[in-house]
Amino acid sequence: MSRQPGPARVLHCHSTFAAGGKELRSVKLMNALGGALDHAVVSGDPGETGARAHLGRDVKVRFPQDFPALRGFPSPGRLVAIAEAMKGYDLVLTYNWGAMDAVMAHTVFAAHFGLPPLIHHEDGFNEDEVDELKTRRNWYRRVALGRTHRLVVPSERLERIAREVWKMPPARLARIPNGIDTARFAKPPEPGPFRVVKREGERWVGTLAGLRPVKQLGQLVRAMSALGEQWHLVIIGEGPERDRIRAVADELDMSHRVHLPGPHPDPAKIISLFDIFALSSRSEQFPLSVVEAMAAGLPVAAPDVGDICAMVAEANRPFICVADDWQALAQMLRDLAAEPDLCAEIGAANRARARAQYDEAAMVARYRELYGEALGREL
């Protein structure tokens, strides 16, 4: 590929630009690619732009206010307006169901308007598709994705759905596992002004999760009731389920052992305070929090959803339990809590696997190659 003068112009269409997993991955890639790209970011929820705070100072990013709404009835007029707004860019990147109308607009009108290539990223599903994918959405995705340059997914399950349900040809499908700076997560904790203090003799089960119904954090509180008084549950995150989680803790007379300090701007600084990392979700795909816990050298207790069982080290797999069963999760926690030496062995194996399989350098290299190929230039 030949080098082209000036940065390429890239349009990002996000379902939301809150500081969630896919948004922070996008920001990480924008920061890594530096001055090679000039970005414009559109959020389907204009009020959710928390990921903006994580952008590097030298990254060229603007947030156009006049871009057509990404959500609404997909009328021909609205799709035409979205397609017209894509003109003038060199590459369009779209993310999740909330940006699927932009994908459809591109597929239908790309030839007419001479639009640049589009790469769609699919990281999972809304809570209304946790138990079963919606037939009408599957058909819409199948049509909308019919002419995309690539579809990128992070997990084996999503790759299988893309092939079998959305009928994506293997040549246009790329699976790129999410990656993190594993070295940072392996460092000792630096809690600073963290709102929870780990006292002598305490042991912590911890999690990083949005406080949303799909995470079933009330079930994690119930599972924690199987452990002794020295064990505390620390839930890092924010969301609408805070009061419900508190209510379960009150019901079980565990309020003094359940801590909800809110989100943390840099989980790498506090995650190694945990002794065990746990999830209780009804649905996951490739949870970045599990990779972060692995890199920090923690054992993981979690339900067998998404790719979690395949992600963790082999020694950890016996502690991935049947999904949607808090009693099974409680047994996993009891077994780990009873054997600190085994926890250390599992944590070391997880750390080694995270370094080998999920370091961000490998992820960035894959995306650099993918975006460069679509642009026809080296990045």
CATH class of segment(s) 8-179+359-375: alpha beta
pLDDT attached to residue 132: 82
What span, in angstroms and rounded, lies between the C-alpha atoms of 257 and 20? Answer: 27
> How many C-beta neighbours within 10 Å does residue 73 have?
7
Report CA-CA distances (Å) from 23 to 44, 93, 150, 178, 326.
12, 12, 19, 12, 30
Give a three-class secondary structure readout of 331-371: HHHHHHHCCHHHHHHHHHHHHHHHHHHCEHHHHHHHHHHHH
pLDDT attached to residue 1: 43
Residue ranges in the chain modelled with pLDDT below 50: 1-3
Q: Identify which of 153, 154, 287, 148 has the alpha carbon closest to the alpha carbon of residue 208.
A: 287
Return the residue matching tokens 């009150």: 250
Q: What is the pTM of this model?
A: 0.84
Q: Which residues pair with 119 in a beta bridge?
A: 93, 150
Kindly report the CATH number that applies to the domain delimited by 182-357. 3.40.50.2000
Taking only Cα atoms into account, the Rg of the chain, rounded to an integer number of angstroms, comes to 21
Interhelix angle 135-144/100-113, nearest 10 degrees: 30
Domain ranges of the chain: 8-179+359-375, 182-357
pLDDT attached to residue 168: 96
What span, in angstroms and rounded, lies between the C-alpha atoms of 85 and 145? Answer: 19
Q: Do domains 8-179+359-375 and 182-357 have the same CATH topology?
A: yes
pLDDT attached to residue 3: 43
Interhelix angle 326-337/340-357, nearest 10 degrees: 110
What span, in angstroms and rounded, lies between the C-alpha atoms of 347 and 294? Answer: 7
What span, in angstroms and rounded, lies between the C-alpha atoms of 294 and 288? Answer: 10
Query: Token pair of 12, please?
Result: 């990002």
Return the residue matching tokens 């609205």: 78
pLDDT attached to residue 2: 43
Q: What are phi and psi of 153, to 5 degrees?
A: -130, 155
Count the residues in the chain. 379
Q: What is the side-by-side order of every strand in the sheet holding 300-303?
A: 258-262, 231-236, 203-208, 276-278, 300-303, 320-321
pLDDT attached to residue 5: 65
pLDDT attached to residue 4: 56
